[in-house]
Amino acid sequence: MGRASKVGVVGRWFPIVYSGEILWTGMLLLVGYFATEALKGAEEFIVYLGAVVSVLLVGGIMVIFPRRLNRYIETSEIRVELL
């Protein structure tokens, strides 16, 4: 009785468990695929964002630094003549 009842339980649940595992594995594969695609898009966005921030930073330095330098030269007692 012991062996026959165990085989019956396994045989009855095996198709259900197997189907569940197939669905679970397929779902994990799809989630992994789409997460990877999302990361590729995020990586491209970060590259563009870094380029924009760099251009704005360099542009800001090119505008602000000469103004401050001129203000410093005008207020200081040292006179500097630029070519």
pTM: 0.46
How does residue 75 score in pLDDT terms, banded at 50, 70 and 90? confident
Instruction: Give the whole-angstrom CA distance, residue 15 versus residue 21.
Output: 10
pLDDT digits (tens, 9 = 90+) for 20-41: 999 999 999 999 999 999 888 8
Q: What's 77's DSSP letter?
A: S
pLDDT digits (tens, 9 = 90+) for 59-71: 988 888 888 877 7
Paired tokens of 21: 């595992």
Mean pLDDT of the chain: 83
DSSP 4-66: HHHHHHHHHHHHHHHHHHHHHHHHHHHHHHHHHHHHHHHHHHHHHHHHHHHHHHHHHHHHHHH
